Structure 1
């Protein structure tokens, strides 16, 4: 039986991942702001939550994040950027996962296959950006992709069977996205979770440090 850690387990995708893994017979350990007081923008909160865990995990996923923080939604143009909105996005969507990744070596077994994934977003891809907008969110997701890639290189030195990746879950119909979907098609959280678990199951150590979508296809940086 696999042992899984889901951080951000109260969110739409996070809760669906918990249900999906439990349905497959896995033991799932959860952390979230609503249930455990975990605040990824507070270093002491992250240290206390992760420092209280015991044992290692076959998979760890950071499923936290937000498009809108403190009333600051995605910008339509660079002219709408504010310092506070950009710093808020980086604090939650880039620095938060980095603080969790500091513990990756303690959370994963050293000599067995294990996956550490951070939910990123295709809009964080520099190569795939052709329409502009959403400056702060895009930049924070691009930053977390670099954080994951760098952490993967370092983790492989001590955990050669580890796989550390960024994952795009697709456009998911949750409260996280409902104001911004427009005409874009979206999938239910349960479908997104099934897709992501399938990607988890297919990853190998050769994939570490990369960025994949919900179908397991590489996303350009």
Structure 2
């Protein structure tokens, strides 16, 4: 994939990975080596999580390979690499977050569906997966452009498949949660709208 300017339109991803009808890219994970002891941790909108050894992806095909078997109506929302000793955080659109130990999820094959990571209420869905590292805070952002930064240690470690705790209050003013990321004091935040407009905030 060649480097391009900010205003460039980009290259069709189907040149690299053929997509089926109504299929879209939801996560990108850069990998240098397929190391033993490293896992690919995945989360779906319905709250399902799955852990698969990175080595199981070491022989990709031109048409792609299955990473997770999704239930009808579900979709992949986040992927990260884990060491087997990490913790995982799932954030929902309704402002809930659950944090649990990675070892609460056993390693599975590529074609497995996974297990429940968070208990969701009503039409709520998972919007972000974070594997917290270091002392960086958690920045939660809502649909209408509001953000909240919270120290990672303020989120208690719970059991998998529970409702978790409130990460941010969702109101008519704020809108629902669209994403959460781990940040450092020296970071700048870039927010991008669905129409492709980007804005940078030098302070968080």
TM-score between the two structures when normalised by the length of structure 1: 0.26
**When you count helix as a share of all residues, which structure comes out higher?**
1
Normalising by the residue count of structure 2, what TM-score does the alignment of the two structures yield?
0.27
Larger-Rg structure: 2
Q: Which has the higher strand share?
A: 2
